[in-house]
Amino acid sequence: MESSVEQLVYVRDDAYTVARMSAEGRPGFVAAGRALAGVQPGETVELTGEWEEHPRHGLRLAVTGCERVTPSTVRAIRLYLGSGLIRGIGPRLAQAIVDHFGQSSLAVIDAAPERLREVINIGPVRQAQIVEAWQEQKAVAELMVVLQGFGVSPLLATKIYQVFGTDAGRVLKDDPYRLIGRVRGIAFATADRIALRSGTPESSPARLKAALLDRLDTAASGGGHCFLSPTALVTRTVELLQQDQEPIERALDALVSELRVVREAEAVYTKETHAREVRLAAELTRLSRARSTLRLRDYREDTSLDDDQRAAVTMALTSTVSVLTGGPGCGKSHTVRALAATVRAMGGRVTLCAPTGKAAKRLSELTGQPATTVHRVLAHEPDPDALFDETPVRADLIVVDEAGMLDLGLATRLAAAIPSGGHLLLVGDGDQLPSVGPGNVLADLLRVEEIPRVRLTRVFRQAEGSAIIEAAHRVRGGELPSVPGGGGFWFEELDDPAAVAERVVHLATVAIPRKQGVDPGRVQVLAPMRKGDAGTVELGRRLQERLNPAAEDKAEHWSGATLFRTGDRVMPIRNNYDKGVFNGETGVITRLVPEERLAEVLIDDGATVTYTFDELDDLTHAYAISVHRAQGSEYPFVVAPLVVEAGGIMLRRRLLYTLLTRARSWVVLVGQRKALELAVHRLGHRRNTGLADRLLALSQAM
């Protein structure tokens, strides 16, 4: 049945799609199935399937086959051109084109695009834009067909085309393992499925090498490891491929010979990670050995500090590399404020920074002094072909708050940019979660006794009465917090994950805003896991429905399995130096313009950033976010589910401790008591890192 796609209703991560359709004789009906994956409003498709009576949604077509066809009627052509699929054509221009060319409109665009200038408001620039978008649409549609043939989600077609352009088809055919790491959403399993169905032998050296590299990358992205032991790497690859050990060991030797990995005794690194770790150790050693350029003139101790805080200030003034740690309420920010004021009073230059925008803003609020992100301190777009920046940081003292969030790459760039003689103070809570990226920089520095450090332990009077801080300190010590709690901390016990999710949504959107007299935007939902009833994806969908429901005056666009809508709270999930936005910042979608295929986002710092629809993969909803993404941020009210479900493996002491310390006034945990107990008593794994050993070796070499 030839049908036009009117609207996408729902898209799931596994590509299961529900859409409203129209066909001759059926002006409106619902179709559903994975075969619909990748369809967009305005397209015309040939559907096959069976009609079924859904218990909740009534009669709909269960689709078993879906083939894109060229729209043939004037209405279908107008709908297609005006849908926003072809960048540069909106509803009005689509009407003008169809009025002029009728049923020949698409043939003109495809075979005689110069004739488009016969239509008013189409000049050479607009014509070129339309032709480019038309060719891209055709190429992506062809890729979708190819991917479906490989049993791979066609939702990946656009992402593949963005990376490889017109070479995409050749890459899929000749070297699908090139997709790994280049195309978001494609790991070894997907590339391997394509390769095997293309005829690649299971024992192919290319396949074995790709699997080894995948195990290293997975260890880094999933566990934060900088390396794996050769035995662990080979074992994990054997388990992945179900192949014999000997050919995999030969493939590892080949990767070493090709300089694609580095083997040091009982450690195998990717080339890039090894270079960063070696460089960071060298740069920190350079900084720590350099003679200070900070001149201590008329130094006076701050009498508002206690003995440990004064010791921390003295340490930072006299040591070129040092570390300040302590839990919540122990006065780290007050110490930093006093330190910065002292240096400035002596004529020195101070830079306060943090890994994320939210953390920098919080640092500024707590110290009363300007603070920025580490990325902005580094000041310019990095050379994509270089591992490190050499931009000098012009300051006598650089203070990095929330230093536990520094991964190996960012820490290396920062250290390399600080001139010898400058002072670097890393401030953080060593009991919180480590960085999202590979490495454990703060913990590694604390393992090196030669690096000066002060740990603040006294909880100050203004923090002593905080139930949140009390609960956090109990969790850090391996004790259950007092439940159900009160005075800022509350645990509400529920067993069913679906009921937990509904309760979290109600608390965040109704109960807490009503009781506290605040806008729901001041309540942040955090979750340990991504999937499941109580994961960030499902919670985010429910919160979007409550806080920003569909309306006629709100434009929408499905990007993969994510529905973006005007008014949505969003968060960038990767750094974009061109746009000046960084992972962890938040903002609101203020405009969605389908005919231009772009979205405008107002970032919390006041900047307006434009994303094309092809770039929306760089954004995620901020209604419910992971605890990792909340690091460095503080929210007035936090609500979080705790369930032993899909994300039970994420329940760790550091995660729960970090979650609790994100809340300023209230934190409410909802879920299973066994999940709370598991989170308190289960310790996380130790990351494989070599930074501490490298620093010790360099120290002993002197």
N-term to C-term CA, the chain = 78
Where does 269-331 have alpha helices with state H? 271-289, 307-318
357 is known to lie in a ligand binding site: no
> Residue 318, Cβ neighbours under 10 Å: how many?
13
400/339 Cα distance (integer angstroms): 13
Q: Which DSSP category does 507 fall into?
A: I
CB-side neighbour CA atoms (13 Å) of 349: 8
Residue identified by tokens 């190429």 is: 139
Three-state SS letters, 117-140: HHCCCCCHHHHHHHHHHHHHHHHH
- For the CA atoms of 223, 229, 231, 237, what is the dihedral angle to 10 degrees? 40
Contact 261, 268 (CB under 8 A): yes
> What tokens were used for 4?
């036009």
* Residue-wise DSSP of 546-562: HHS---TTS-EEEETTE
> Do 6 and 556 touch, CB atoms closer than 8 A?
no
Cα distance between residue 448 and residue 700, in whole Å: 12
Task: Give the three-state DSSP class for 438.
Answer: coil
Interior angle at CA 402, CA 399 and CA 404, nearest 5: 110
330 among the known binding-site residues?
A: yes
CA dist., res. 483 & res. 224, Å (int) = 33
Of 318, 354, 667, 340, the closest CA to residue 481 belongs to 667
Structure tokens given for 346: 């002596």
List C-alpha distances in Å: 381 to 241, 273, 413, 442, 580.
39, 20, 12, 25, 9
d(CA 105, CA 501): 49
531 among the known binding-site residues? no
Other Cβ atoms less than 10 A from the Cβ of 308: the count is: 17
Please state, in angstroms and rounded to a whole number, the distance separating the CA atoms of residues 668 and 511.
11
DSSP 166: G
Q: Determine the residue type at 399.
A: V
49 SS3 class: strand
Give the angle 249-252-257 at the CA atoms, nearest 5°. 130
Cβ-in-10-Å burial (0-12, 13-18, 19+) of 304 comes to exposed
Q: Which residues of 341-359 are buried (b: 16+ CB within 10 A; e: fewer)?
A: bbbeebebebbbbbbbbbb
Phi, psi (deg, nearest 5) at residue 270 = -70, 155
Indicate the annotated binding residues: 329-333
Indicate the annotated binding residues for ATP: 329-333
